[in-house]
Structure 1
Amino acid sequence: MSEDPKIPDDVWEQFARDTERDIRNSAPKEPSARAREVAERLRRQDERGERPEGWRSPPTRQRKSRRGLWGALGVALAIVVAVVAVKPSLVPGDLFGGGSAEADASPLPLETAAPTAAPSAEASQIPTLDDPFAGSPAKRWADGAAGIVVPKAKAVGGQSEAKVAQALELTRKLLVESNLDPQTLRGARPTAALDVLDPLQKDVRGLLETALRKPDKDHDPLWMFSRFDPAEVRPVGDVVKTRGRMTFKAGDHASVEVHADYTFVYPVVQTNGSTEVTRTIIRRVLDVEISDPAKYQVTPGKLTVVKWDQDINNSACDVYDGYLHPSFASAESEGPDPTGPTTDPYDRSETLDPNRDEACGTVSRV
């Protein structure tokens, strides 16, 4: 193998002279008397609010990040640029941050544990028909049923792995049919969701049947189902954003108990021809189980509801007609004025406190 050719001395000397000249030229210089005079006049005009029309200062962030840096690194950077031009693979990463926007918009990994804080604030953007999740942390969440992933089943509570898998899949079906099915969202009877529930559990199945038939404060279908009045609003597009997790354990009734905790984000628009988009955010927490029919009076292959809870945001309070009624900035909202606390509907870091203030509150963002 031949050795690298030796660089002639005169080339090195020329390089040294050029480098010294470049460093001298890039060093800070004392402004001339004329420059100082102009700068002082502009400063006085600025203090009096008299800057000439069209004057624009460069962004402060850019001034601070670049001032004093390029002069010191000018020569070295010139050499690096030359090397990169010949072989870009020698420099790791993206020098110009070209991939940062894609990273910001990339889908979040599935939630496997409770987050430690609320999602960070998003840039203020107005949702539109073309981009209904603009300005929302849900933009990076999964689309619909893709966000409801069952964990790997294993035998617990005297139930086989197959029974546990059945309980998980039935829970997933209940969530999908109750919160994502297009017909359910448009106010239709959620027949497929009801069919998952044990008809022998009268206090739940019977309550929901009554709520769908004749809703009131004590029989509210929104406790389980997400439903909008089709005469009032319609969904924007066919995507509902979903985020949450599902776990299971041995139950108290020779059973497997499944715990589900999911938040659903619904973009909607009024049916009056307006193009204003708003979002309703619902967090649902649900515990269900499949018990051993040899020991308990249950219907095989059906879910028994242990408990449920929900946190509904951006929907009229104290309206019990069986539908969600989102608030729009351009329209007068239904129900009383909010008096409760302000909450972040995207914050999944805390459990839903069963003793929380039930007064109608406000949301920090939608």
Structure 2
Amino acid sequence: MTRNPRAALCAAVVAATALTGCAPAENLLNDVVRDVTGVPITHDQVDRDDPFGGTEAEEYGEGFTVPEAAAIGEYPADRVQEAYDTTGELLEAVYLDRESVFGGDDMRFRSLLSGQAMDWYEKYHGHEDPALDSRSLLFHLTPGTAEPIGDVVKVDGRMWAETAEDQYGMPYLAVRTEYTVVHPVARPGEEVSVRLVTSHYGEVSFYDVGGRWEAWPNWWRSAGPVHCVWDEYTFTPAYSDEMPEGERPEGWIEDDPYDLESARDMGEEECGAIGAT
């Protein structure tokens, strides 16, 4: 069996950001940003003593909850539970492992791959085209651009299992995943800070290989506020004292950035402006 899951192309959602300083300068910059992006700049500094205060993330959990499994199709409950548990470990390796998010380490993620999935990951690891770089499956922040605020990452969403069939007619167990993940971060050594809100969609495809699972993560995400730069596989936070780099956002996402529906239909390499996170 040969199966190459599509690379996780990340639709970077760029926020209209604020600049601090005296009111006249701030108003002038607000006008400039409105002319360029179509929306005014906003203020969104993170309270380090209450990094999720005043946001929907206050009510989120602090990890990925794994559901209790039931038999699905030909797969007994214990096999489905194993798939759920592996999916939870993969998501934790991607979003909750600090060495991965802030340091670019992928060892925990690698440890959960095997067989042809591992072969694919290694083949495309570090590909010259960021869109094909298998590291896009992970949530890496550009080195030196962010440090965590506090010890908590808030998570809201769900996973569920279904039987499925791939394009080659091969049956597999699909564990669908949809989550909002919120990381409070600051520019290293500075006060300027922001909450990065990530909308995660996709699945982990589980193939039965000799009585064991081979897991293929196959997902995509949007994140903001980040700079809309397409020549890197990492995300670069857009802080409130910066003008957007790369492509300018087009249009306005009217929905709450914490609403998973906001970015569901964004195309690959599509930028948009978001409200305060």
| TM-score over 0.5 for the pair | yes
Q: TM-score, normalised by structure 2?
A: 0.73
Give the C-alpha shift of residue 300 in structure 1.
Answer: 2.9
1:137-156 superposed matches below 5 A: 137-143=56-62, 145=63, 148-156=64-72
Question: Is 1:132 equivalent to 2:51 in the alignment?
Answer: yes
Bigger relative contact order, structure 1 or 2 (CA pairs below 8 A, ≥6 apart): 2
Distance 1:125 1:209, change over 3 A: closer
Task: Give the whole-Å Cα distance in 2 for the aligned partners of 1:255 and 1:335.
Answer: 40
Match of 2:151 among 215, 235, 238: 238
Structure number with the higher helix fraction is 1
Task: Give the whole-Å Cα distance in 1 for the aligned partners of 2:100 and 2:153.
Answer: 13
What secondary structure sits across from 1:251 in the alignment?
A: strand
Q: One-letter code of the match for 2:247?
A: P
1:93-242 superposed matches below 5 A: 126-143=45-62, 145=63, 148-201=64-117, 204-206=120-122, 209-211=125-127, 216-219=130-133, 221=135, 223-242=136-155
The answer to whether the 8 A contact 2:230-2:269 is kept is: no
Give the C-alpha shift of residue 286 in structure 1.
Answer: 2.2
Match of 1:259 among 160, 169, 176: 176
Unaligned stretches of 5+ in structure 2? 1-42
Task: Give the whole-Å Cα distance in 2 for the aligned partners of 1:351 and 1:268.
Answer: 21
Give the C-alpha shift of residue 153 in structure 1.
Answer: 1.1
Q: One-letter code of the match for 2:69?
A: A
Q: One-letter code of the match for 2:163?
A: A
Distance 1:195 1:277, change over 3 A: same
Task: Give the whole-Å Cα distance in 2 for the aligned partners of 1:215 and 1:235.
Answer: 28
Give the C-alpha shift of residue 351 in structure 1.
Answer: 7.8
Task: Give the whole-Å Cα distance in 1 for the aligned partners of 2:57 and 2:123.
Answer: 32
Unaligned stretches of 5+ in structure 1? 1-123
The answer to whether the 8 A contact 2:207-2:213 is kept is: no
Question: Is 1:248 equivalent to 2:164 in the alignment?
Answer: no
Give the C-alpha shift of residue 167 in structure 1.
Answer: 0.5
Give the C-alpha shift of residue 292 in structure 1.
Answer: 2.5
Fraction of identical pairs, as percent: 24
Task: Give the whole-Å Cα distance in 1 for the aligned partners of 2:227 and 2:44.
Answer: 23
What secondary structure sits across from 1:315 in the alignment?
A: coil
The answer to whether the 8 A contact 2:70-2:76 is kept is: yes
Q: One-letter code of the match for 1:304?
A: W
Give the C-alpha shift of residue 357 in structure 1.
Answer: 7.5
Task: Give the whole-Å Cα distance in 1 for the aligned partners of 2:194 and 2:234.
Answer: 16
The answer to whether the 8 A contact 1:340-1:357 is kept is: no
Q: TM-score, normalised by structure 1?
A: 0.56
Match of 1:322 among 223, 227, 233: 233
The answer to whether the 8 A contact 1:129-1:277 is kept is: no
Question: Is 1:288 equivalent to 2:204 in the alignment?
Answer: yes
Task: Give the whole-Å Cα distance in 2 for the aligned partners of 1:229 and 1:318.
Answer: 11
Give the number of aligned pairs: 230
Deviates more, 1:327-336 or 1:194-203: 194-203
- RMSD of aligned residue pairs (Cα, Å): 2.7
The answer to whether the 8 A contact 1:126-1:134 is kept is: no
Distance 1:233 1:292, change over 3 A: closer
The answer to whether the 8 A contact 1:242-1:262 is kept is: yes
What secondary structure sits across from 1:172 in the alignment?
A: helix
What secondary structure sits across from 1:201 in the alignment?
A: helix
Question: Is 1:270 equivalent to 2:192 in the alignment?
Answer: no
Q: One-letter code of the match for 1:240?
A: V
Match of 1:300 among 197, 212, 224: 212
Task: Give the whole-Å Cα distance in 2 for the aligned partners of 1:235 and 1:320.
Answer: 24
Task: Give the whole-Å Cα distance in 2 for the aligned partners of 1:248 and 1:359.
Answer: 29
What secondary structure sits across from 2:213 in the alignment?
A: coil
Task: Give the whole-Å Cα distance in 1 for the aligned partners of 2:141 and 2:263.
Answer: 26
Distance 1:198 1:350, change over 3 A: farther
The answer to whether the 8 A contact 2:207-2:214 is kept is: no
Give the C-alpha shift of residue 319 in structure 1.
Answer: 4.1
Q: One-letter code of the match for 1:312?
A: A
Structure number with the higher strand fraction is 2
Q: One-letter code of the match for 1:233?
A: A
Q: One-letter code of the match for 2:60?
A: W
Give the C-alpha shift of residue 359 in structure 1.
Answer: 2.9
Question: Which of 1 and 2 has greater Rg?
Answer: 1
Task: Give the whole-Å Cα distance in 2 for the aligned partners of 1:151 and 1:126.
Answer: 35
Task: Give the whole-Å Cα distance in 1 for the aligned partners of 2:144 and 2:45.
Answer: 24
Q: One-letter code of the match for 1:243?
A: D
